Amino acid sequence: DPDVLDLLDGVCAHLGRHMERRRAEELALELARVKDELVGMVSHELRNPLSAIRSYSETLLDDPALTGEQRHLAEVIDRRSTHMQHLVDDLLDLARLEAGQMSIDPQPLSAARLIRETVQAQRPAAEAKQLTVTVDAPRHLPVLADPVRLRQVLDNLVSNAVKYTPEGGAVTVTARLTGDVVIEVADTGIGVPPGEHHRLFDRFFRASNAVRKGTKGTGLGLAITKAIVDAHGGHISAAPAATAGSVFTVVLPASHD
Ligand code: ADP
């Protein structure tokens, strides 16, 4: 029966496409796994030589007999290797977080205290640019989070706000309890061009205006920040601020004991 043959043909073609799609999905997963493994391995292999370079350059810099030129060279080695070490640390963090290998140890914490400590640590950088930094948070703000990781999240957001806000601007950290703990880091800085917000949390992504202005960065901080927030069962988003600049909002589970 030609109808049955047609039907069989159709079914075979459909099955064939289905299997091709499955195969493509499997290959994509395998590729992602190999890529992560490679990033992890390369960063590990870079870590040890880098710490050796750093500790030797520090030793060199301690030598009072250095000439001006030698000191200058040793300083360049120190600065560049420090930058590279941060990059490698970020890559390792990200690889671990994405592979679910980073241990997150959530405990009841005072979010308000962590916010104040973070802001305090960024004050010198903010003052150097005459930025007004304000914290608006209730004293009682119990969050369920890993202290080291939450600190990293806050550091990233506040240091970005400081970095991407020109002289004389303002950075405001607001926090409140709405069932969850909601933390907002707002600034009056350069903002993010329309259409680029959804890519901010992709690794290595840097917005076109940040690149154009020549602000230094790797595009890894927000990817790490998001991975940490996700690992806490939380949520992070970015939006344009009311007048100018940007606002980053983090939602984390409150602690109820
Ligand atoms: P970077 O090392 O480039 O700062 P991040 O991952 O922390 O990397 O941020 C990714 C990009 O998001 C930045 O390059 C910048 O374009 C944009 N961005 C982050 N924070 C802000 C902010 N507060 N204001 C404007 N743009 C920002």
CA–CA separation, 234 and 232 (whole Å): 5
Mean pLDDT for the stretch of residues 233-255: 94
Would you say the ipTM is above 0.95? yes
Q: Which amino acid is at 178?
A: T
Per-residue pLDDT tens over the stretch 14-25? 999 998 999 988
Query: Is 54 buried (19+), middle (13-18) or exposed (0-12) by CB count in 10 A?
Result: middle
Q: Which amino acid is at 198?
A: H
Sign for the pseudo-dihedral over CA of 217, 223, 224, 225? positive
Among 30-44, 131-145, 149-163, name the one with the lowest average pLDDT: 30-44
- CA 252 from chain centre, in angstroms, equals 16
Residue 35 binned pLDDT confidence (cut-offs 50, 70, 90) = confident
**CA 170 to centroid of ligand 1, rounded, Å:** 16
Q: Tell me the Ramachandran region of residue 130: left when phi exceeds 0, alpha when psi lies from -120 to 50, beta otherwise.
A: left
Question: What per-residue confidence (pLDDT) applies to 174?
Answer: 98
**CA 204 to centroid of ligand 1, rounded, Å:** 10
* pTM score, whole prediction: 0.80
> 247 CB under 6 A from ligand 1?
no
Q: DSSP character for 189?
A: S
Tokens standing for residue 45: 């292999």
Per-residue pLDDT tens over the stretch 79-92? 999 888 888 888 88
